[in-house]
Chains A and B, each alone.
Chain A
C-alpha cells in the first residue's frame, strides 16, 4: 500500500510539472523622450529662472520735466486710441498706465518681447495638450486652453541636463487690493514675481490671448475682474484665473453683492468691448495718479473720469472715483474758505454745479444697484469657489484628456 501511495504521488508530481508556465510576451519598450525628466534629475535641482527685468537703461535727464508729464502723455495717447480704433492696443494701454506710475522707467520693447515669448509658449502648450473639441472654432479654444495652462500651471522644459520649471502665476493674498503698494496691481510686477491679484492676472491673460490674435473679454464683479469667452459649445463661459476654475454665473450672483438690477444694467458680469477695456485702463491711470500725487485740484482725475464715462457710461469704478473726487474738492474749498456755511459756498456757481453733479453721481450709483463689499466678505467669496467647487464649477467644460 505504501508503495502504491508513493507511486500515485509520483504520478501527480509528474502531471503538474508537465504544465508549462506561460511567460509574458516581451514588449519592446520605446526609450522615453528626453523630456520625461523626473527620473533623471533630483527634485532639488529644479531651478526657477527669473525673467529679465523690464527696466530701461538709465539715462540722465535732458530737461526738468513737469511732475505730471508722464500722466498727461499717457492720457493723450489713450484718448487717441479711443478716438481712432485702428490704434487701439490693450497691451499698450496697460503699459502706459504702469509706466506713468513708475516714472517712465519701463522699457516697452522688453515688455513686448517677454509677452510675445509667453504667447508663443502658450500656443505650443495648446498643441501639446491635445484638446478634445470637435467644433469649428477649435483653434480659438486651443489658444484659450494653452494660455490658461501657462498661467495656472506653468510649464517644464529641459536644457542640457537641467530641468527648469517656469512657475505659474499665482494669487498674492498679501495686499490683494493694492492699498499699501499700488504696484501690486501691475502686470509688470506679475511678470517679475509671478504673483498678482484679480486685476493683473486677467489683464495678462487678455494680453497673451490678443498676442495670438484671438479675442478675450474682461468682465467685472465687485472688486474683481475675470474673463469671459464665447465658444460654439456652450456659448458664454467664465474663466477665473485666481483659482484656475471655470465658475458658472450662479457663483457670482451668490456673492450677495451683485443685485439683479446691476446685472440688468450691465454694471457687472457684462463682457466688455475693446473700448470699454481701454476705459478701465484709463480709470487705473487716474487712480495711480491719485496714489502718487493725491487728488490735488482734481482736474486730471475728473478729466479721465469724463472720458471714461463717455465710452463706458455705467462703469462703477469711474462713477465712484468721480463722486469721491468732487466731494474732496468741495471739502477742500470749504476748508480753504474756512467756512461751514453751504449757502455762501454755493453762491459760487462752479461749486454749486460740482455739488449737484456729485449728488447726481451718487444717485446713479445707487440706482444702478451697486453696494459696497467689505474686504472680509470679498476674501470669503473668493475662497468659496474652491471650497464649493462641485456646486459652482461649469461642468460642460471638460475638454482635456490629461490631468
Chain B
C-alpha cells in the first residue's frame, strides 16, 4: 500500500516555476486527469480563489455600451397635486400696469434719442467733413520739426549760408527730441576733417585740387589711416566705416539712416555714409556731389581730366556707371526723366533733406499739413526727386482714404460730385501718373542686397581674367 502511494507520488514529474505550464500541458497527455487535480490541488484552489477575488474586487469592469433608446415622455395629467394659476390680486394688476407704463416711457425716450442722434449725424455728415488732416501742431514734439523747417527754408531762400552739417544736425535732432548735442556732433566731424587735413599734408597733396582731396576723403572713410604729424608728434588714427547690413533701410529703427548713428557706431548705410562724405567735403571746401539710383545713393566727384568718378562707400570701392546701371532696375525712361544718375548740388541736397524731414515727421508724429508743406517746398527746388513724389503720392492717398471714410465709403461718381474730394482724387492720380511715366521701378530688398554684393564678384571675375 505504502509503496503504491510513494510510486504514485514519484510518477508525477517535478515541475519548476518556469516550466510549470509547459510541463503541465505536456504531461496532461501523459498524466491522467485526476492525478493532476490531486497533485496540484492546492494550485487549483489558489487560482480559483484569486481569480474570484480579482474579478469581484477589481474596480474597472468593462461594460459594453448599451444601444441608446429614445427618451419616453411621460404624459402629464393634472391631478390634485398639480399647482393651478392663482387669481391675480389687485396689487398684482397695479404692478403690471406700472411696469407697462415705464416700458412705454423708455421706448419713447429711446425713439426720441435715436431721432436726435440721426439728426446730429446727418448734420455732421453734411457740414463737417475734414478735407485736410487735423493739425498736430499742438503736440510738443512738433516744435523741433517746425524749427528745422524754418532753418532749412531760410538756407534755401538765401537768408543763411548753405551748410550741410547744420542742416543734417537739425533734422536729426528734431527726430531725437533735442537729445543730440551739436558740440559733440561737430567735434566728431572735426576730428575726421583733421585726419583728412593731416593726410593731405603728410602725402604732400595740393589742398585746392578737388580730385586729390576727394581721394583723401575716400581713403580716410574706407581705409585705415595712421599718421603722425612730424612737427607736433601727434598721432591721427582713423578706421574704415563699414556697411551695417542689419536693417539697412531703417524700417525697424529709423535712426539707422542717421549720420549721428554713423559717428556713434562707425557703420552706416547707403544714405548716411554719402551724407557724411558730403559734410566732410564741405568742411574741406571741395566739390562732391550726391547721386541717386534705385533705393541707393552714392557720391560723384570730378577728376582732373573732367570725367566723373563714382564712389561707392558701402563697399569702399570706386564704382562705374555700368555697375550701377547693371542693377537691372534702371530703365532708360528713368535716365531721360533724370530721376536717377543725376548729380545734384548743395541746394538740391538740402531740398532732399527737407523731404527726409517730412518722412521723419510722418514717422514720429503723423500726417498733417506740415508734411505737404515740406514736400512742396522740396519739390520747388528739386522737382526730379522721385522719393518726394512718392511721399506726396502717399500723402494724397491717405488723405483721400480719410475723406472717403468720413463720407461713409461713397461710390466714385458720388465722390466726384464733391468738388474738394474730387480735387484730392485728381492730385493723387497726377502723382501716380508722374511716377509711372518717370520709368521708376520698385527694387525688392533681396535684389538690392545681391546687387550690392555683386561688385566683389565682378572684381573677382576681372582679376581672374
Contact = CB atoms under 8 A, between A and B. Distances in A.
Contact of B335 (A219, A235, A256, A260): A260
B328 A248 contact: yes
B336 A264 contact: yes
Which interface class (under 10, 10 to 19, 20 to 34, 35 or more) fits A? Answer: 10 to 19
A356 to B, nearest CB: 25
A248 B439 CA distance: 12
B438 to A, nearest CB: 9
A269 B332 contact: yes
B331 A236 contact: yes
Interface in A145-166: none
Contacts of B436: 235
A263 interface: yes
Contacts of B336: 263-264, 266, 270
Given A235-B441, A264-B338, A266-B336, A253 B325 contact: yes
Contact of A253 (B326, B439, B441): B326
A263 B328 contact: no
B439 A235 contact: yes
Contacts of A270: 332, 336
Contacts of A256: 322
B335 A264 contact: yes
Nearest to B436: A235
Contacts of B333: 235-236
**Max chain A C-beta neighbours (<10 A), residue from B336, B338, B341:** B336
B322 A254 contact: yes
A263 B322 contact: no
Contacts of A266: 336
A250 B321 contact: no
A248 B328 CA distance: 7
B332 A263 contact: yes
A394 B332 CA distance: 14
A175 interface: no
B327 interface: yes
B330 interface: yes
B431 to A, nearest CB: 15
Contact of A254 (B326, B332, B335): B326
A344 B68 CA distance: 127
Given A235-B436, A235-B439, A236-B439, A249 B341 contact: no
Interface in B388-431: none
A91 B336 CA distance: 29
B331 A249 contact: yes
A72 B341 CA distance: 45
Nearest to A265: B336
Interface in A244-295: 248-250, 252-254, 256, 260, 263-264, 266, 268-270
B332 A250 contact: no
A260 B336 CA distance: 10
A123 B341 CA distance: 41
Nearest to A259: B321
Interface in A358-373: none
Contacts of A249: 325, 330-332
B115 to A, nearest CB: 46
Contact of B341 (A219, A254, A260, A269): A260
B336 to A, nearest CB: 6
A280 to B, nearest CB: 17
Interface of A: 219, 235-236, 248-250, 252-254, 256, 260, 263-264, 266, 268-270
11 contacts: A235-B331, A235-B333, A236-B332, A236-B439, A253-B322, A254-B322, A260-B335, A263-B335, A264-B335, A264-B336, A266-B336
Given A250-B327, A260-B341, 17 more contacts: A219-B332, A235-B331, A235-B436, A235-B441, A236-B333, A248-B328, A249-B330, A249-B332, A250-B326, A250-B328, A252-B332, A254-B325, A260-B325, A260-B335, A264-B335, A269-B335, A270-B336
